[in-house]
Structure 1
Amino acid sequence: MRRITRITTVGIASAALALTATACGGKTSSDAGSDGQAKAAIAYDIGGRGDQSFNDAAYAGLKKAEDELNIKGAEAEPSEGEGDADKVQRLTELARSGNNPVIGVGFAYAPAIEKVAKKYPKTTFGLIDDTSKTGPNIANLVFNEEQGSYLAGVAAAKASKTGTVGFIGGVEVPLIKKFEAGFVQGVTDTNPKAKVLKQYLTQPPNFDGFAKPDLGKAAAQGMLDKNADVIYAAAGLAGSGAIEATATAGKWAIGVDSDQYNQKGLAKYKAKILTSVTKDVSDSVFNLIESVKKGKPQSGEVRYGLDKDGVGLANSNPEYQKMTDLIAAVEKAKADIIAGKIKVKTAP
């Protein structure tokens, strides 16, 4: 297996000097490095690799492609306070160096991918969590987050002893409001008397709510002080702070995106991570890379829902596995959503 190449924003300009420029038409799916190996790249969202959540799930897909498809992977990290121009430069260099596909992890890459994809029509671009920008060589990898969050709401309502639970959103944007909507609906459908505390860490254009654990920690502490005993955070790296505060208080935390019970960086708190709402970001990345390698690249909307385990609820914690009433309620809710008996809201 080849080592994944990491490209930081600071180093991207100097890296460009070492790259062989290609025509604006980009490279075809069969193009590869000088050693004949196919290449693929991901550009990380706020928080970068190591967030124990969204970005790490995308990395897992790239790693799987390296292991199983003989892909040479490249990674590009974001920089604090960057704008669309920085993302355009990053994606351009990744495409120019022959990576195909080039995947932007998160909706913040939408404007940049729209621009760069037009310059490299033979390169496939993956855009995770956004359908606002489309094109013949853009694959919009999206998820029914509200469905997984509904199941988390059912679990939270069943696990709570105080009748008060909390939802922490990283940044108040439509995507995260899907998480809120599903969670609140799941809680109230399960226990109409339950109280749901809600807080967003930042408002756009400030995206620190996805990047700073201290913000999540403070928000969770505030909810704990108000008697919440189950807290669900959809906040990227900031969510790790919420997990820390909640677990330290001996209450239940619910993770997001990855199965956070199994994340090494959160091992200290895993006993109190009840479950996690999972998004199969890993397989979405792998599947896109595989489609390009096979010469049949995905394009348009590629949706991952509960019906195909594209979203779900993790059951890694042994304590969760003992909660038979909770599990039964979650399984019934899952079946009813798939059958169309429960319509989950996508906005609060």
Structure 2
Amino acid sequence: MKKSIKLTMVMLLAVTLVLSACGKKNETGGNGATSNIKVGMVTDVGGVNDKSFNQSAWEGLQSIKESDGVKVEYLQSTKADDYVTNLNKFVKGGYDLTWGIGMSLEKDIKTVADQNKDAKLAIIDAVVDAPNVKSVTFSENEGSFLVGVVAGLTTKTNKVGFIGGMQLPVIEKFAAGFQAGVKAVNPDAQVMINYTGAFDKPDLGKTQAATYYNDGADILFPAAGATGTGVFNEGIARKKAGADVWVIGVDKDQSLEFGDEITLTSMIKRVDEAVKRVSKQVVDGTFTGGTETLGLKDNGVGIADTSSKNVSAEILAKVEDYKAKIISGEIVVPEAPTK
């Protein structure tokens, strides 16, 4: 009898452990997946809630957490001096992949990669020559050309403006594509270009937007991280006051954040998908260093699906025509704006 009781207790304990393990499994990934993989992400100074670039990257990591049960974490950089410190926290902490989000981290990713040759790192918007680093860049000029077409065919004042953050090659690609797209469909339009010098200063974006609106621009396209929030804020205020003005979103569908009333369209840059794809390679054991560039043909850039809310079917048809010509190579979009 005692043997029977002991056997029953052992069986109950085994069932309890199995059920406990199953419960723990479901806590990790939304579909019940678990993984021992850890992925860390270091933002640039724009911060994880910049409603643009860093936020999109973090959403990509959240997605792979949901699908594969990967542990994900971010560290927010408030100044450039934070980059190496934050990167090393993940690398020294045994994370399987460490992301640096933005061109500003290029030098520091290289430094950390060279000092930790067994670590895997990845970066968005810069090319780091190291065998343990995956570099992902985008053809921002191609996507920006398409929103330039929209702006050129929509403007009523024949004045539009581009507001960049720091004047870096990647930001100049946004400006170049936008300028070329506007001019392709409206050669008489004036495209004003300015760089605020920062990605984390909404007040600078608001001030520059006010200047351009006062100069007669009715459509503005910021590529400036959190600084671009100020552009939207100025546009919203003017719209509420009765002005017929628009802002074009960048990196993600910013109508979801700022509303359809002010967002004419958005130039989508699939940072989230790039981060998810490379992180998935670590999960699958297929990660390699090297460079990958995503353009229109890769669905790495494009315009928001919600564009039809404010852009006519006729204009969107024109956008599709130009998209096909860029993919075929009939149109080669410049990477630097003309004077």
The TM tier, using the shorter chain, reads: 0.7 to 0.9
Please name the residue that 1:257 is paired with: 251
Distance 1:87 1:299 in 2: 21
Q: Any idea what SS the aligned residue of 1:171 has?
A: coil
TM score, norm. by length of structure 1: 0.84
For the 8 Å contact 2:48–2:55, the answer to whether it is kept is yes
Q: Any idea what SS the aligned residue of 2:196 has?
A: strand
For the 8 Å contact 1:271–1:317, the answer to whether it is kept is no
Which one of the candidate residues 250, 263, 271 is aligned to 2:261? 271
TM-aligned CA deviation for residue 248 of structure 1: 2.5
Which one of the candidate residues 288, 302, 310 is aligned to 1:320? 310
Q: 1:100 to 1:214 in 2, by over 3 A?
A: same
Please name the residue that 2:89 is paired with: 93
Which one of the candidate residues 283, 297, 309 is aligned to 1:307? 297
Distance 2:146 2:288 in 1: 29
Q: 1:54 to 1:36 in 2, by over 3 A?
A: closer
Number of residue pairs the alignment of both structures matches? 302
Whether 2:169 is the aligned partner of 1:174: answer yes
1:192-244 deviations in Å (ceiling 9; x for gaps): 00011111112xxxxxx200111111111111111111110000001011012
1:263-322 deviations in Å (ceiling 9; x for gaps): 3xx3xx44210111111100111111110111110321111111111011113155335x
Which one of the candidate residues 292, 312, 321 is aligned to 2:282? 292
Distance 1:247 1:153 in 2: 21
Counterpart AA for 1:99: Y
Which one of the candidate residues 194, 197, 201 is aligned to 2:196? 201
Distance 2:35 2:184 in 1: 55
Whether 2:131 is the aligned partner of 1:141: answer no
TM-aligned CA deviation for residue 71 of structure 1: 0.3
Of Structure 1 and Structure 2, the greater helix share is in 2
Distance 1:171 1:117 in 2: 25
**Can you give the 5+ residue segments of structure 1 that lack an aligned partner in the other structure?**
4-34, 203-208
For the 8 Å contact 1:234–1:256, the answer to whether it is kept is yes
Which one of the candidate residues 184, 187, 193 is aligned to 1:192? 187
Please name the residue that 2:65 is paired with: 66
Counterpart AA for 1:138: V
Whether 2:55 is the aligned partner of 1:56: answer yes
TM-aligned CA deviation for residue 89 of structure 1: 1.8
For the 8 Å contact 1:261–1:317, the answer to whether it is kept is no
Please name the residue that 1:211 is paired with: 200
For the 8 Å contact 1:101–1:288, the answer to whether it is kept is no
Please name the residue that 1:122 is paired with: 118
Which one of the candidate residues 228, 245, 269 is aligned to 1:239? 228
**Can you give the 5+ residue segments of structure 2 that lack an aligned partner in the other structure?**
1-26, 240-244
Please name the residue that 2:335 is paired with: 346
CA RMSD of aligned residues (A): 1.5
| Bigger Rg, structure 1 or 2 | 2
Sequence identity percentage: 34
TM score, norm. by length of structure 2: 0.86
Distance 2:35 2:159 in 1: 57
Distance 2:108 2:260 in 1: 37
Please name the residue that 2:3 is paired with: none
For the 8 Å contact 1:166–1:196, the answer to whether it is kept is yes
Distance 1:112 1:166 in 2: 33
For the 8 Å contact 1:288–1:298, the answer to whether it is kept is no
